[in-house]
Amino acid sequence: MLDAVTALSRGTRCVYQSGMRRYIFLPILVNLIVYVSMFSFVLSRFDGWLAYWMSMVPAWLDWLAWLIWPLFVICLLVVVFFTFTLVTSLIAAPFYGFLAAKVEIQATGREPLDDRNLAKTAIDALGREFVKLAYILPRAAGLFVISWIPGVNLVAPLLWALFSAWVMAITYLDYPMDNNKVTFADMRQRLAKRWWQSLSFGGLVTLITWIPLANLFLIPGAVAGAVLLWDDHYRNVHGDTRGITPQ
């Protein structure tokens, strides 16, 4: 059975092969523009945000300043991470969906079940991203609130880590599943049934997205790795043999 590390390494090699590189140029360019813009914005506002939030701390909690400050930084980094991920996914979704389809044909020898034309695929991919946002944002907001509740916030980093892994699994494994007419609800069920594969892959992708600049070139590999995992772990998770051709 394919594991997350192998899927990512094989996927990265796949997208940088001759004939595939032309499909990753635009996604990398989009990621680079968003990354530089967001990093510059955060650096320019960080001191002001920190001063504001520290001024909101009641006087009787001054003795906890040593803990509140790093919690603020962690929460800010998480918010930036999610914003970067969501924005790049929203903008690059049509490109990633197209890349996933090409990888599936080349790596598995199977055509995706998607019979939409290029324009409709791009429009539907954007719509699918908004469905993801509707699922992710309320849960992220709930975790953000928990992160500021004294006592409870001690477990917030662990909850954020698990949630980040789950979000990354949803974000990337959805590309091949959408190409194969798997609904968003069905996709989440498939991920839950293979929860270890889902969280390990999502956790690994979370880690690589934190690697400055290198993440821009590894994200297309994560899309390809998701295709390989889809074919190995999730395609037939319900006993569904649609799209499977005799070997």
110 within domain boundaries: yes
205 within domain boundaries: yes
DSSP 59: G
pLDDT digits (tens, 9 = 90+) for 23-59: 888 888 887 888 788 888 888 887 787 777 667 666 7
56 within domain boundaries: no
pLDDT digits (tens, 9 = 90+) for 112-135: 887 666 666 667 777 888 899 899
How crowded is residue 144: how many other Cβ atoms within 10 Å of its Cβ?
15
Domain limits at 167? 4-38+81-234
pLDDT of residue 243: 44
67 within domain boundaries: no
Tally of domains in the chain: 1
206 within domain boundaries: yes
pLDDT digits (tens, 9 = 90+) for 136-170: 989 988 988 887 777 777 788 888 889 989 999 99
50 within domain boundaries: no
Q: At 12, is the pLDDT very low, low, confident or very high (cuts 50, 70, 90)? A: very high
Q: What is the pTM of this model?
A: 0.78
43 within domain boundaries: no
52 within domain boundaries: no
* Sequence-ordered list of residues with C-beta below 8 angstroms from that of 243, at least 6 positions apart, any chain: 110, 111, 112, 113, 180, 235
**Cα(220)–Cα(214) distance, integer angstroms:** 11
Provide the mean pLDDT of the chain.
82
